[in-house]
Structure 1
């Protein structure tokens, strides 16, 4: 209990510091007491709701929608205030420096009130940008599905599979969904790609199999003529909540695995399948979760037992750190790896084809999009669903379509 009390005290001090400096900007711009009281009341309600939700939600419940929205609204109001803090606290530092300098010089310090007011208005204007972005991210951004298309060429791709199209979907996190119509829109968008194969790269739930109950009838309508294949993600193992018994956790894990055939997916648990066409074949390899700092159940050797090194391979592994630490240099040669997991942290700045940034990149070397090393590719899907924060800001939910081509020039 003492650990929670210390955490509460530290968090309260941080929040108080942020709120104090943010409020200074408001006070400088307006003298209206009603606006000030609304500001204070909203802040108090958000923090009280956050602490109440955190300390009253049992660990056995997992990450509830109430918890997600408590976090969501806290971030929506807190992050813009960090902009205010950076400017107002920075201006105070400048004031102190100027005061010290003036004490050692004969000159007089010029009045700073007008500058303070200008900076307060500037800070509030800049803070409005992330505030509006986070509101949009919660209301609409989490369902703002984007289709990203790539064409990849391989000299050793069997000719029969020249032009094969793959749709990758990842990180459904069904326990977070709230709008069936929007999710159905996303599923319809997947089907509109008319890909030959659909590959799902893990995290079908947040924690519990029952989270998928209301969504099976939606996702079972996904269509792909050459098959639908899937793997597990770190959340599918039920490791992030407290179970009443080991047996309950075991039963839940089996129920999660049973979801996949219910929606027409062939779940690969350290296994592979061959797609055959005109006497030629390529391999779909699927491993259990392997992640740096996470569950490391995946076994590449087991998954490829009986395969030849020369086989063309598409590997599904949930966590891209698996590719970084184990796959990309493997002599067995995995031509294309498909991962998810990072969500691009669900927030960042991205101008397709020109620029992308997210705090996620400081944790994962491959965090979103297509990467190529040693002539081998990995695509990190930004995720179909969302988790923890109930929205997406700048990093939109993704449906990836990859077309494989025979590189005849270098064959």
Structure 2
């Protein structure tokens, strides 16, 4: 009986160790890796080699953690060295058997899945094109094209080289404006130049516009972030609006500060000020709003009713797990990814470009959104 209790106790401990390993990789946000300046400074073949080696090393503990979660009983019994006196434990009806061939097969499958999520999907961005009808869109803005980039999260493993790749793709899209919806860096202000300098090359007829995200605040040096963004001439809007004019026609563009950068359950009322941002706008003009975290979108829609809100923050969940990803992200941020209808407003949530936590993406490719405005009544979008 004591042996059996020891067996189960060790198995549970091994399972908890696997949970702690995976939880640590996600929950601790891998800050010690993201701070590696030398990794971010590699270019050319050195960049690809260092990134692949780094990600391969990162895959090993992740695969081990998944195997521990899948087979705690088998691993527990292997650790608890069996003697002839322990055969009753080994023969326990609930004890799991695992052949070496099965172990290698599962390890290979998990390694391949993690490898794909680390070195293939993150470098395979998707350009999502969609038309959004705006009821009161002036004729001169028919076909107005907004290209959205979000959540760069520049750090050691999303360096300036990767931002330049996004810029190259965007410059082929013939944008009227480019909207950047926050999280330029992951959590270190020292990467501010790496995030913003490549963005100076962005091309758009009516300009580049941006807002801040919660991770820009997490750096602890928001003044440096703001300075870098403004120096790159990225049209930073902090509770401000601008008006895009084509002849006598006008399109309002509002940029809101991040409402949740205190990382708590409440709003950062000290920073977000929609009353100031929407002040003195003509109600007859259509309004496009840039907002990093979509959790605040219902409040904005209820109070001000902009025709369109462009947001980011969620990464679409970043790693798709059936049912779990959608429910977790929706419970936390209200919206997951893609377009939604809320009253007479439309909301589009971009999946982002970089990572939060481990540099992994599965079934949630990096995204550049191309939103084309059209005249007409709002269509029925998904709730």
The normalised TM-score by structure 2 is 0.73
C-alpha distance in structure 2 between counterparts of 1:87 and 1:146, whole Å: 41
SS of match in other structure, 1:175: coil
Per the alignment, residue 223 of structure 1 pairs with 203
Instruction: Answer yes or no: is 1:162 the counterpart of 2:160.
Output: no
Distance 1:311 1:197, change over 3 A: same
Per the alignment, residue 310 of structure 1 pairs with 284
**Bigger mean CA deviation after superposition, 281-290 or 185-194:** 185-194
Per the alignment, residue 269 of structure 1 pairs with 238
SS of match in other structure, 1:153: strand
C-alpha distance in structure 1 between counterparts of 2:16 and 2:244, whole Å: 57
Instruction: Answer yes or no: is 1:278 the counterpart of 2:247.
Output: yes
CA offsets 1:189-223 (integer angstroms, 9 cap, x no match)? 11111111100111111233321323444221111
CA offsets 1:244-273 (integer angstroms, 9 cap, x no match)? xxxxx4xx2111001212322110010000
Per the alignment, residue 244 of structure 1 pairs with none
Size of the aligned set, in residue pairs, is 329
Per the alignment, residue 258 of structure 1 pairs with 227
Per the alignment, residue 238 of structure 1 pairs with 218
Per the alignment, residue 339 of structure 1 pairs with 311
State the superposition RMSD in angstroms.
4.0
Per the alignment, residue 186 of structure 1 pairs with 166
How far is the alpha carbon of 1:125 from its aligned partner? Answer: 4.9
C-alpha distance in structure 2 between counterparts of 1:62 and 1:262, whole Å: 28
C-alpha distance in structure 2 between counterparts of 1:301 and 1:14, whole Å: 53
Gaps of 5+ in 2: 1-9, 40-53, 77-91
C-alpha distance in structure 1 between counterparts of 2:69 and 2:282, whole Å: 55
SS of match in other structure, 1:205: coil
Distance 1:178 1:253, change over 3 A: closer
Q: Would the aligned equivalents of 1:176 and 1:206 in 2 still touch at CA under 8 Å?
A: no
Q: Would the aligned equivalents of 1:220 and 1:264 in 2 still touch at CA under 8 Å?
A: yes
Per the alignment, residue 69 of structure 2 pairs with 82
How far is the alpha carbon of 1:178 from its aligned partner? Answer: 4.9
Per the alignment, residue 120 of structure 2 pairs with 140
Q: 1:328 aligns with which of 295, 301, 305?
A: 301
Q: 1:287 aligns with which of 227, 231, 256?
A: 256
Q: Would the aligned equivalents of 1:137 and 1:393 in 2 still touch at CA under 8 Å?
A: yes
Q: Of the two, which has the highest radius of gyration?
A: 1
Q: 1:319 aligns with which of 293, 310, 334?
A: 293
Q: Would the aligned equivalents of 1:152 and 1:403 in 2 still touch at CA under 8 Å?
A: yes
How far is the alpha carbon of 1:295 from its aligned partner? Answer: 5.6
C-alpha distance in structure 1 between counterparts of 2:132 and 2:168, whole Å: 25
SS of match in other structure, 1:220: helix
C-alpha distance in structure 2 between counterparts of 1:65 and 1:134, whole Å: 22
C-alpha distance in structure 2 between counterparts of 1:388 and 1:294, whole Å: 23
C-alpha distance in structure 2 between counterparts of 1:383 and 1:203, whole Å: 9
How far is the alpha carbon of 1:357 from its aligned partner? Answer: 4.6
Per the alignment, residue 407 of structure 1 pairs with 376
Per the alignment, residue 203 of structure 1 pairs with 183
Distance 1:72 1:323, change over 3 A: farther
Q: Would the aligned equivalents of 1:143 and 1:183 in 2 still touch at CA under 8 Å?
A: no
How far is the alpha carbon of 1:179 from its aligned partner? Answer: 5.4
The normalised TM-score by structure 1 is 0.68
SS of match in other structure, 2:354: coil
Distance 1:278 1:15, change over 3 A: farther
Q: Would the aligned equivalents of 2:317 and 2:326 in 1 still touch at CA under 8 Å?
A: no
SS of match in other structure, 2:201: coil
